[in-house]
Every structure is written in structure tokens, then in C-alpha cells.
Structure 1
Amino acid sequence: MFYPHLREGATIGVTAPSSGVQEVLHSLLDQAQKRLESEGFTVRFGKTVKTQHKAKSAPAKVRADELNAMLQDDGIDTIIPPWGGQLLIEILPYVDFVKMKRKWILGYSDTSVLLLATTLKTGIATAHGTNLVDLRGEYSDETTAMWKQVLQTKAGEAVIQHSSELFQKQWQHGNPTPHIFHLTEKTEWKTVNGKDVTVKGRILGGCVDVIRHLIGTPFGDVKAFQEQFTNGEPILWYFENCELSTTDLRRSIVQMKLAGWFNNCSGVLFGRSPANEPVDGYTVEDVYEEIASELEVPVVYDIDCGHVPPQVTLINGAMAEVEVKEGKGTIIQKFI
């Protein structure tokens, strides 16, 4: 595995490989830039960031060209898209995975397609966590703020994160707090059997809605990644569900299983979700129980990951140890 490093005073490149930001919301970008620059970073925006038309920031080739330029630019240290979107998968055939430099890409939602594909194809670690617009507050909650410490961890070192105290039940975009989120609900990490668990493995995952579409493509070859980069170590998967019903989530997990994604799997983590709508009494807890039974591995859910913030920063490719004890979670990630 290859681990980038976020240095002090780094230059952050902002490009929109999926959705850009409509003009009416450009102030969010300005606020995020101001906040990051106050912390010593330099922020460089690409042209795609402030455009949006028909569910994408720009045509696929244009988005890919700008991303490639930033990935190959020695003057840019880290890439953070403004947010996710819907159609990032369109750019993958144009992404130059050979010439890209080893630098962090940070984000979630549709961005997780790029994150997972990059790690699987290159062995370069990628970071699933906050996106740019959620860094615009006067300050960050303790969970979100860890993105910097995680990305500043050096190869060979380890970083520890803990579950949040509170999470946000629903977005209130018109009523932002000083740290953006409205953290009102008590966080509780849960397990299928209700018992405390500890699970270890090379961590991989993303937003299940979109990464499932990598199955059967050159960008979702988990077997090749295992053979080349994991030294036989098991994979610890994490998923977060943005919009899927329970039956659609179940179909997605079964497809992953049939594709061999869970071969040599040590456990599965699921983030909190605004979706997971039951179908005919079939609940998400039923899905989790079936996965635990079929794979015979621990299943942890409602972790700080995804569209119900805040979220920890998970490093695709890192060695992770996750402990859940009395509803609290601890994640140790080793950059080895």
C-alpha cells in the first residue's frame, strides 16, 4: 500500500468529478475556502467546481481532464471535491491511474466511486470522510475535525478515532450552526448480536448505492487488489446507504457476495442511513442479521459514516482494528 501525506500549509485542489455547485450556492465554497485558508492551507478551484448542468458539473472528459491535471500537478497536495453527486462513474475510463501522483483524495457519497477505484487499481490509499462544503463552519465537531490528523499520519504510523457523542438527525441547510451540523441525537454503535466485538482487516468500502456499479468492471477488481496489495490479510468492509430501500440494499450485498467481494472478509461495518426504508416488514436489521449469518463475520452498524453526520475518516487500504464496546466505537488505522 502507498500512503500519501498531508503536510502543513498544503495546497488543496478542488475539482468536481461528479456534481458542481450551482451559482446560488457559491457562497458555500467561499466560506470553505476562507476557513481552510485561516488554517494555513492554500485552496485552488478548478473550473468544474462552479458549474452544474443536467446532473453533472461538466461532460465526463472535461471532468476527467481537470482531475487528471490536479492529480499530476506537483503543486497540488490533496484533492477534495465540493461534494458528491450522481454520475462520477462516467469519468473512470478517462482517469489516468498510471500517471496520478500519490496524494490524498478525500470525500464521500458519489466520490467514493473514485476513492475505491483508485485504491483497487493502484494501491494508493484514499480517504472516505468529509467533503469540502462541510468544512465551512467557524469550527468543526471533534469527529469531523479528525480528517486533518488522519491525513497527516505518516506511513508506518497509526491513528485512533472514536465514535461521536451526538449525530445529526436531519439537515437544516437554511439554519447552519457554527460547525454546520445540528448534533442532537445520541450516537450508539450497534452489533447484530448485541455483544461487544473487535474486528480487524484491510478496510475498504464506500457508498453502496454507487460503488456496487463497479462490480464486473476493471475498476472493481477486488481479487486483483487482494493478490497484489493485501498479503492475504482479510478485508474489513464498510458501507453507507444514501437512498436504497432494504430490498435494494439486500440485492446489492448479494451481488457483491456473488462477485467475490466478500472472499476473505473479516467483518462488515454499516454507517447510519437516512434511507433503509422497510419493504413488506423487511427491515434493515433483517438485512444485517442475514449478512452476519451468511458470511459468519461480525456486523456493526450505525457507525459514524456517510450521509448522517458527523463521520470518521476511513482510509481505504489501511489496516484497521475496530472495537465496539457498550455502544461506543474505536477505530485504529495503521498505515502499513
Structure 2
Amino acid sequence: MILWPRFQQGDPIAVTAPSSGVPEELHHLLTDTKNRQEQRGFPVTIYPTAWKQKKSVSAPAEERAAEFNRIMKDESPKAIIPPWGGERLLEMLPLLDYSAPIPKWILGYSDTSALLFAWTIKTGIATAHGTNIVDIRGAEMDPVTAAWEKVLAWEGGKTITQSSSELYQPEWKFDEVSDVVFHLTEPTEWKTVSGKPERVEGRLLGGCIDVITHLVGTPYGKVREFQRNKLHDEPILWYFENCDMNPNEMKRCLKQMEYAGWFENSAGFLFGRSAAVSEADGYTAVDVYQDLAQDTGLPVIYDIDCGHVPPQLTFVNGAWAAAACSNGKGTLTMQVPEEADDAEA
């Protein structure tokens, strides 16, 4: 069974920093996004860790974990959305209280995806891989980013379909102000290794491959156990995005996951666009995807809207989903059974 948090218009949002916080010179980003969300009808509480940053983290692991645990036991916030990712979230995972937490959404990506992955694996509570809260501080949101609200407010018995973007942002321009935060200029094109239209369905699980790979062989990476006990042994539809790795590094990570048995009962793979090094001695990311498809016999869709090259769809860990790609366009359809309306599927 997967537990599904409940979220609706007017529900409070908690901002905590389980990885990197916001340095003083960028505090205006937190203030701006708080004001913007409250204009949209969501009360926001920014917790102390979000305002701090030193030596690559917002605070010592014990402080970050204690704050997170307090929020999880508080009935008021219905969603936790960190400012952004970071580098050292992994060190707080053993300090979290995974026993009988109050179901609430956790939304984010990058380093935050290690928390999303571990939380869903350990608790059976669905988590959402998508926008950070500082990235929705603009006066407007593009349609792909804006879908986070619909996904988090999703009711049991319903399906929700998200479509690929028209344009994406190839690089970050922090010194240029935009009403939608992102500078979407390049045509989006979803692709398949087969070169043909593909449709693949299964239970979503994944995140930023840079950090997810470090969960292999730990109590936070017991994928097969999770799949048997929580997903009724349904196949997993993996989604990954690459922040910093070159193709050889990504290939090693995927092989480690394969050797650990993560891909034994899988439906296919989705890979987000990446600004990371795309070539290493002639070996490219596309070569990695082709090798993966050949090694596993499973379809691979890539350059999708996911990760550090925005905008990005909102993926729900644990959800049944169907991803389709044809003629450079794509869709992601997710569904929750009727009985999930009051927490479980």
C-alpha cells in the first residue's frame, strides 16, 4: 500500500532546508517566494534552517533532522518544499523518524530526491519530485511547472496528465529577472532509443541519479522489498535526471543499480535533459541509454522534462504512471485508485 498525502487550496506549506540553506545575500529569494505563495493562497512558514548556509549545508545533520521531524509531527503543514537541493542531505537520513509520521507531501528535486526516495521506501508515503520553492517565486509559472499544484491536490480515483513543454531553459541566468523565473528559449524534444514512438507504464520511482546511486545497499535503497510489500510487485518505471556526471560515471551508477537487483522487475526508463558533460572520450549520454536498453531489453525515453534543465514535470514516487513519446512530444499520466482518497492505495 502507498499512503497518499492530502493537499488543497489554502493548506500551509513548510519551508525547511534538509540540505543547503539560503545564504544571507539571497534571503530575498525566500521572502519573495513566501509572499508569492501567500498571494496564491498558501500560508508559508519558513523554518530556521532555510535562512542559514555554512560549509555546504544549512545546519548540522542533527539540527536539520530535528527540524524535519518536528514538522512531520505537526498537523498544520500539508506540504514541505525545500528552497532547493544541495550536497549533503544523505547524512541526515539515519536521524529521521520514519515511524507513524503524519502523511504530507514533500516536493523538490536534486539533493532533495534522496530524501524523497528514502522516505517513500521506508514509510510507503508518496513523495513528489518537482520544483523547488524558490523557482515558483515569479509572477507567473509556465504550464509545466504550474502543474505541481494540481498534482499535490490530486484526488483518489482520478488521473492527471502532464504534457511535455514547448520550450526549455538551456542555462541558468541568475542575474536576469524573469516573470516566470526560467528563461525558456529552446525547443523541447523528447526522444526514444528505439527511434520509434514508445509507451511504457509502471510504478514511478527515481530522482537525481547523482545521489540516488548512494542509496544502493543501504536501508534506504531496499527497492525489491519495497516493490513486493508496497507495490504488489508491479513493475517499476524508473525516472532519472543527471546533475553533474559524465557518461562513464552515469554508466557506472546504472550498472551498480542493476547489479543490486533494482531493475529486475522494471517497465522502462525515463531520463531528463542534462547540462552535465555529454561526452567522455567519444562515449556519450545517448550511448549510455542505448547500452541500458540493450542490457535490460526495456524501452528508454530521454530528454524529458525532469531535473536541472527546467521546466520539469511533477513525478510522484509510488504512483502508477504511463509515459508516452511520439514525434518529439510526450505525456505523463498518473493515477490513484478510488480508495486512495483517504490515504491509501
Q: Is the 8 A contact 1:19 1:85 kept in 2?
A: yes
Q: Is the 8 A contact 1:269 1:299 kept in 2?
A: yes
Q: Distance in 1 between matches of 2:44 and 2:51?
A: 14
- Counterpart in the other structure of 2:259: 258
Q: Distance in 2 between matches of 1:20 and 1:141?
A: 25
SS of equivalent to 2:283: coil
- Counterpart in the other structure of 1:296: 297
SS of equivalent to 2:287: helix
Q: Distance in 2 between matches of 1:45 and 1:220?
A: 30
Q: Distance in 1 between matches of 2:46 and 2:272?
A: 30
Q: Distance in 2 between matches of 1:39 and 1:106?
A: 17
- Counterpart in the other structure of 1:197: 198
Q: Distance in 1 between matches of 2:188 and 2:235?
A: 28
Q: Distance in 2 between matches of 1:318 and 1:77?
A: 19
Does residue 1:213 correspond to 2:241, yes or no?
A: no
- Counterpart in the other structure of 1:8: 9
SS of equivalent to 2:279: coil
- Counterpart in the other structure of 1:312: 313
Q: Distance in 1 between matches of 2:240 and 2:259?
A: 17
- Within-5 A mapping of 1:65-104: 65-104=66-105
- Counterpart in the other structure of 1:281: 282
Q: Any gaps of 5 or more consecutive residues in structure 1?
A: none
Does residue 1:116 correspond to 2:125, yes or no?
A: no
SS of equivalent to 1:112: helix
Q: CA deviation at 1:260?
A: 0.6
Q: CA deviation at 1:156?
A: 2.8
Residue 158 of structure 2 aligns with an amino acid whose one-letter code is E
Q: Is the 8 A contact 1:161 1:312 kept in 2?
A: yes
Q: CA deviation at 1:176?
A: 2.2
Q: Distance in 2 between matches of 1:299 and 1:197?
A: 8
Residue 185 of structure 2 aligns with an amino acid whose one-letter code is T
Superposed CA offset, 1:1-60 (max 9, x none): 111121110100000000000000000111101110001110001110000010100000
SS of equivalent to 1:321: strand
Superposed CA offset, 1:234-255 (max 9, x none): 0000000000010000000000
Q: CA deviation at 1:224?
A: 1.0
- Counterpart in the other structure of 1:150: 151
Superposed CA offset, 1:55-111 (max 9, x none): 100000100000011111001111000000000001000100113210000000000
Q: Give the percent of matched residue pairs that are identical in Structure 1 and Structure 2.
A: 52
Q: CA deviation at 1:214?
A: 0.5
Residue 288 of structure 2 aligns with an amino acid whose one-letter code is V
Q: Distance in 2 between matches of 1:153 and 1:84?
A: 25
Superposed CA offset, 1:175-230 (max 9, x none): 02100000000000000011001000000000000011000100110011011111
Paired positions, count: 336
SS of equivalent to 1:237: strand
Q: Distance in 2 between matches of 1:35 and 1:56?
A: 25
Q: Distance in 1 between matches of 2:227 and 2:157?
A: 20
- Counterpart in the other structure of 2:237: 236
Q: Distance in 1 between matches of 2:54 and 2:156?
A: 40
Q: TM-score, normalized by length of structure 1?
A: 0.99
Does residue 1:172 correspond to 2:173, yes or no?
A: yes
SS of equivalent to 2:185: strand
Q: Distance in 2 between matches of 1:247 and 1:8?
A: 44
Q: Any gaps of 5 or more consecutive residues in structure 2?
A: 338-345
Does residue 1:63 correspond to 2:57, yes or no?
A: no
Q: Distance in 2 between matches of 1:276 and 1:197?
A: 27
Q: Distance in 2 between matches of 1:156 and 1:294?
A: 36
SS of equivalent to 1:28: helix
- Counterpart in the other structure of 2:341: none
SS of equivalent to 1:286: helix
Q: CA deviation at 1:151?
A: 0.5
Superposed CA offset, 1:242-294 (max 9, x none): 00010000000000000011011110000000104311100111100000001
Residue 334 of structure 1 aligns with an amino acid whose one-letter code is Q
Q: Is the 8 A contact 1:203 1:316 kept in 2?
A: yes
- Counterpart in the other structure of 1:30: 31
Q: Distance in 2 between matches of 1:255 and 1:71?
A: 32
Q: Distance in 2 between matches of 1:84 and 1:136?
A: 16
Residue 225 of structure 1 aligns with an amino acid whose one-letter code is F
Q: Is the 8 A contact 1:3 1:154 kept in 2?
A: no
Q: Distance in 2 between matches of 1:276 and 1:157?
A: 39
Give the alignment's Cα RMSD to 1 decimal: 0.7
SS of equivalent to 2:189: coil
- Within-5 A mapping of 1:39-58: 39-58=40-59
SS of equivalent to 1:322: strand
Residue 153 of structure 1 aligns with an amino acid whose one-letter code is W
Q: Distance in 1 between matches of 2:56 and 2:156?
A: 37
Q: Distance in 2 between matches of 1:291 and 1:186?
A: 26
SS of equivalent to 2:66: helix
